[in-house]
Structure 1
Amino acid sequence: MSDDDVKQAADAIRRGEAVVYPTETVYGMGADATNPDAIERVFDIKGRDRDKPLSAGFPDVDAALEYVVVDDREVAFMRRFLPGPVTVVVERRDSLPDVLVSGRDRVGVRVPDHDLALDFFEQAGTPVTATSANRSGTGSITNPSQLSDEIREAVAFVLDGGTTPGTESTVVDPGRGIIHRRGAMADEIEAWLETHADSEPEA
């Protein structure tokens, strides 16, 4: 993957198009997570129900903090586990549109532990949707060769990072001490939540 490939993918995001990119879990489908039309395109390509929210990807924790509202405990969790195979659910700011999160007040934050993904997010210069690059109801993609023709034709660019591990991220709401989906590092995350339970804010 060349620098020019990453630039082309980032340019496509800024044009409101969709891009397939690798992470340390599975391949993701990215679009500008602040652009309602671009987000709608991702739902359409995936055939995903509009009542199922999408997560947002960022190049680092500091970039994510510009788009969410968090307390000290949530920040401590994010700095401990990100970058990593973790989706951190926190309160969103209005700069992330309703369509991204199906009108909910919380959003999943992803900072993948994957250099190519982080470079792509950095160059895109905007939050990027973080959802698997497959049609809803079908298996996750761990190599671009598995992409359906339908998705390959619908996206503007495929960033090929080879084969990814395929482990799902753990989805966790650290403010409420809830693990919504167990995946990578789940035991470690559970232990952190238990250790910090005494500082738990109101539910």
Structure 2
Amino acid sequence: MNEEIEKTLAQLQLGNTVLYPTDTVWGLGCDATNPEAVQKIYNLKNREESKALICLVSDTRMLERFIEEIPEIAYDLLEAVDKPTTIIYDNPVGIAKNLVAADNTLAIRIPDDEFCQKLLRKFKRPIVSTSANISGQPTPKSFDEISNDIKNGVDYIVNLKDDKKAAKPSTIIQLRSNGEIKIIRK
């Protein structure tokens, strides 16, 4: 695994795209602070930029560096959830502008996955994490279900194809600065 982390890290540092296992489904990723890399993901997915992408951070310390003000309830929520949960926060900072939604929000998840955690800690920046499919197509439940267009379109495929993943997208909750909570996807 350590060799794959180093190879993936090198690709991210070059501004390249990667196909990698997450705590949910296989994801397309790149440096979330690099607008050119983010654009490559939108192009590969054939996705409109108006449809924002999720990114991963290693922990609440990293989260605090990229969100202007985290509502207190977010910490309780992160502690209470027992399955992969993405939270949409207001007012991201230091992130590629084309990753931020039109309403100035950003969807972020702290993954419970050894590979992702080690990679994020070494990279020290958020990584884009969007399902490995062309926009509008079903989310692949395993590596073998990922289309050749996606596999051939990324710069690097992480060589950890052991499909022990949940194979289900994360829950998505929007948490507004004013305390409003909205469940987007269960």
- Is the TM value for this pair above 0.5? yes
Partner of 1:56: 55
1:177 alignment partner in structure 2: 181
CA distance in 2, matches of 1:176, 1:125: 30
Aligned CA RMSD, in angstroms, stands at 1.7
Q: Using the alignment, how far apart are the partners of 1:60 and 1:97 within structure 2?
A: 19
Letter in 2 for 1:150: D
Cα drift, residue 76 of structure 1: 2.5
User: Sequence identity of aligned pairs in percent?
Assistant: 23
State how 1:1-203 maps to structure 2 within 5 Å. 2-68=1-67, 69-81=69-81, 84-159=83-158, 160-163=160-163, 164-174=165-175, 175-182=179-186
What is the number of equivalent residue pairs in this alignment?
A: 180
1:161 positional shift: 4.3
Bigger Rg, structure 1 or 2: 1
Contact 1:45–1:154, Cα closer than 8 Å, also in 2: yes
2:53–2:129 CA contact under 8 A, matched in 1: yes
List gaps (5 residues or longer) in structure 1: 183-203
Higher RCO (CA < 8 A, seq sep 6+): 2
Contact 1:143 1:162 in 2 (8 A): no
Q: Distance in 1 between matches of 2:156 and 2:85?
A: 25
- Structure 2 gaps of 5+ residues are none
TM-score between the two structures when normalised by the length of structure 2? 0.88
CA distance in 2, matches of 1:96, 1:81: 25
Structure 1 position 104, deviation (Å): 2.8
Shift of 1:42: 0.3
TM-score (norm 1): 0.82
